[in-house]
Amino acid sequence: MSDILIRVSGGVGRITLNRPRAINALSDDMLREMGAALTGWAQDPAVHAVLLDGAGERGLCAGGDIRSIYQAIQDGTDGPIEFWREEYLINALIANYPKPYVVFMDGLVMGGGVGVSAHGSVRVVTERSAIGMPEVSIGFIPDVGGTYLLSRAPGELGTHLGLTGGRVGAADAVLLGLADQYLPSAALAELAELPADELLVQIAARAEVPPAGQFAADREWIDSCYAADSVEQILDNLLGSGHPAAEAAAKEIQAKAPTAVKVTLRALRTARGLATLEDCLNLEHRLVSRFLTAPDLGEGIRAAVIDKDRNPTWRPATLAEVDDATVESYFLAQPGQQPVFGGTA
């Protein structure tokens, strides 16, 4: 069967990501088919809403197909650049979609999965939702508009999530601004079969208050500790806060790729001053192009999904070795690189 199922029923344009064994990881072909369907439906009077979900029991989408990115790095090709460009165009299309874009963020929703869901207009989470931007764990940055989403979360919650690469459940996803409504996962199958007008009404009518999350209780120390503009100061704040959860967060950050952590913090701070999602996506495209030629992304993917030894060798190995000039080099446009949306970021 196809890796993506596309059909129209009851005025709803249905897209089902259909790679359950890979937790519906996004391939080039899936993105192209999804983009073509969304573009067509935007002007189709027979389609009144769009619904995105994922096949299988494990999650909506585990992200982009990072195995293919690893192979491109080994082969020295620039295929991922075009993949990211197409992906970012779809992220912006979703954010500006002229019709309700409903997404069931059930189960695992990571990285690229956030990009095709959290920019939607009706984002449904469940008791099974586990949502995150774990890119610093593989020597990368939160992209697919992640800098836009995380930099606009309340206080420093987005900084905390981006630097630790953690996951959040339903309540924290709503608090962060990554989701809107909470429904039991058992209700999704029935809702998916409703016509467009009933789908939107029933989601609103059946929405419940999600079980309490952790971020509301931790907001004080998160906002205080992450207010600094250097990773080193943030770590000092976390370790000196006296909160066990803050100390655990510091250990998580210290285990990530030092360069990725520092570039991520700078990117989140920069994104706060950018006006639009498209501006942030242009910034991300500049950054990911640089990461493709740096050593940590390939090594991070190797350790996580190729050899699965969970023991990456980062270069440089420590935060102290990542100086300001190194960080700045990631923000410089690559020769011949064109912004995704025109203009500059």
Say which of 106, 143, 218, 279 is annotated catalytic: 143
* 64 flagged as catalytic: yes
d(CA 322, CA 306): 26
Catalytic: 112?
yes
Which of 13, 112, 145, 298 is labelled catalytic? 112
Name the helix (H) or strand (E) containing 104. strand 101-105
- Cβ atoms within 10 A of the Cβ of 15, count? 24
Burial 215-237 (b: 16+ CB within 10 A, else e): beebbebbebbbebeebeebbeb
Does residue 115 carry a catalytic annotation?
no
- Exposed / middle / buried, residue 242 (Cβ in 10 Å: 0-12, 13-18, 19+): exposed
Choice among 135, 180, 278, 296 that is catalytic: 135
| CA distance linking residue 134 with residue 166, whole number of Å | 6
**Residue of 113, 117, 99, 123 whose CA lies nearest to 24:** 113
186 to 130, 170, 191: CA distances (angstroms): 16, 15, 10
* CA distance readout (Å), 231 to 218, 282, 329: 19, 24, 17
Whole-Å CA distances, 70 to 66, 78, 130, 173, 330: 6, 11, 25, 29, 20
143 is known as an active-site residue: yes
- The set of catalytic residues is 64, 112, 135, 143
